Chains A and B, each alone.
Chain A
Amino acid sequence: MGDYREVQAGSKPFKRAYIAVMLWFVGRAIQAAARVDKAVREEFEKLPEGFTFSLGVQPHGPYMIVGKNQKGRVKYLGWKPESKVVDLRMAIKNIEAALLLFTFQESTAISICRDRIDFDGDLPPALTVIRAIGIVEVYLLPKLISKLAIKRYPVWSFGRKYLGRIRIYFHSILGY
């Protein structure tokens, strides 16, 4: 018999770094959108105070954690899920699946249909979070790309779309 060495999966540092940056920015953009956009704010109003969710990649991350504090404010809570009580965990099964999602080769819905994301938590809040992320994607991405990420591109007023986009980018970069 030949001598077989164990093959370790590559750590894929560049792909991991890209996903980490995307999650970091999307997390901060969700926080910003909850302040700027009425529809995102209304989605989060449906969630209980103190509700926290995470979106990340199995098994070793990266992650983003977003929560609603006791005052009802939505906050980006960082990238370390350890030591945090998370009500809803959304875990993409591996880094390649995450890459398909975050390079918009697959929409969020298709990614879920293809069983690439595990959900641990109640379903209605998960759908609320997915709807909110969909709105955030419309703000962050040009129409050509965001049409790949969501099912239906919304018809928004000029003010909502462009002023909202500027405000959300501004708040996301500054982190408040």
Chain B
Amino acid sequence: MRIQDYYEFIARVRIVSGHDVLEKIPDELKKIGATKPLIVTDKGVSGVGLVDVLKNALGEKITIAKIVDDVPQDSDIRIVQRLAKEYREVGCDCLIALGGGSVLDTAKGINIMVSEGVNDLMKFTGKGVVKKALKPLIAIPTTAGTGSEMTQAAVIEDHEKKLKKLFVSPFISPDIAVLDSRMTLTLPTAITAATAMDAMAHAVEAYTCLGKNPMSDTCALTAIKLIRENLLTVMKSPDDKNGRLALANAATLAGMAFSNSLPGVVHSLGHSVGSVCGVPHGVCMAILLPYGLEYNLHKNEQLTAELLLPLGGEEEFVKTPKHLRAERTIYFIRKLNQDLHDVSDHRHARFFKEVLDREGKRMVPRERLPEIAQAALGDGTVIYNPEDLDLDDFLMIIEASWEGVPLDRSRIKKG
């Protein structure tokens, strides 16, 4: 095993995980000297009653200053500014983010504004601009996928200028991540599948891309194993609390891994499909993951082969000849997508032409594939991919993943 000459790794989030751990939050807040939280969430989360679960868990021990539940699907600068204003008006002294990636990113944005005492969040875009400790932030993920509770980054969109702005600093990450199995019990199966595959993509790319390091490797391998052991079980028995908790842990571990080693082509294209066609991130990750592994295979055969152990299990790993393990890893990812497709009544898409909106229309029209490929060229994750990519390479991958056919490997350029 080769250790990188140099790497950096940070994971400063305190994790509290268990079946009924929301009840620990008052004590956790007391430890960090906070008493009046602003709870940030979205309509979907409050609609399924998770805010009530949180309120009951907090009981009388904590005075909730205010609950806001109008965070949109993509975090937005205007809502961040409005909620920062409300935070100040109500006199809060900490934040609790209850939701998925958008809610967590919104809370991170609010925290920058109220801690730095500014009215313009955009002064803090970029890497390392936030240089001091922020107000206490507790993250309670309600999807097991984004890993946003572990990351040092927030993506907040300026919808007027149509720009997604990135904020990166170790101070942005939450102080505490509370993983409570009750929070993901109500997640519909299709979203459970997509978000778990999002975590899988984080782990696989963290392990196989250029920023890998031994710390993130350990997190990634455990995350993959937990997803393999629990995802299909949870899909068949959504009330399986142990399975739900295992998936939440997998997502957090994968978040810890990719936050420190950063992903590659699967995310470059996934971000572009998301921004051009509005396809949910987890769906993009599930579809693109086998293609990313195929594209990088000539550079990454050894690392891809190593993933067969957590992905296929010990017996599969031992019985597969060494030279076939990498191919088998790709096969297992595709098989997992197929199994999820079958068990979710075909709601889990295996390729982009299968992705439909609520009216049953294709979300990714074939004629938009060149636009997606062009957008991927400007995505920062492309740097971390082991093999280089130009416009033709992106187009080749997105066309194959739209059609649902394996990559034509004779077209992959090797230099």
Contact = CB atoms under 8 A, between A and B. Distances in A.
Interface of A: 109-110, 112-115, 118-120, 123-124, 126-128, 130, 147, 150-155
Given A151-B388, A154-B415, A127 B126 contact: no
Contact of B126 (A110, A120, A155): A120
Interface residues of B, number: 25
A40 to B, nearest CB: 13
Q: 10 shortest A-B CB distances, which residue pairs?
A: A124-B378, A152-B415, A153-B415, A152-B388, A151-B388, A113-B211, A113-B210, A123-B380, A114-B6, A112-B383
Nearest to A97: B6
Given A114-B5, A151-B388, A152-B413, 5 more contacts: A109-B384, A118-B128, A127-B380, A127-B382, A127-B383
Interface in B378-412: 378-380, 382-384, 386-388
B377 interface: yes
A115 B415 contact: no
A118 B127 contact: yes
Interface centre among A123, A126, A147, A155 (most CB of B within 10 A): A123
Contacts of A115: 8
A76 B130 CA distance: 33
B383 A109 contact: yes
Interface centre among B382, B383, B387, B414 (most CB of A within 10 A): B383
Nearest to A105: B5
B331 interface: no
B166 interface: yes
A113 B387 contact: no
Contacts of A126: 380
A82 B223 CA distance: 48
Interface string B107-129: 00000000000000000001110
B80 interface: no
28 contacts: A112-B383, A113-B210, A113-B211, A113-B262, A114-B5, A114-B8, A115-B8, A118-B127, A118-B128, A120-B126, A123-B166, A124-B377, A126-B380, A127-B379, A127-B382, A128-B378, A130-B383, A147-B415, A150-B388, A150-B415, A151-B387, A151-B388, A151-B415, A152-B387, A152-B388, A152-B413, A152-B415, A155-B415
Contacts of B379: 123, 127
A89 to B, nearest CB: 10
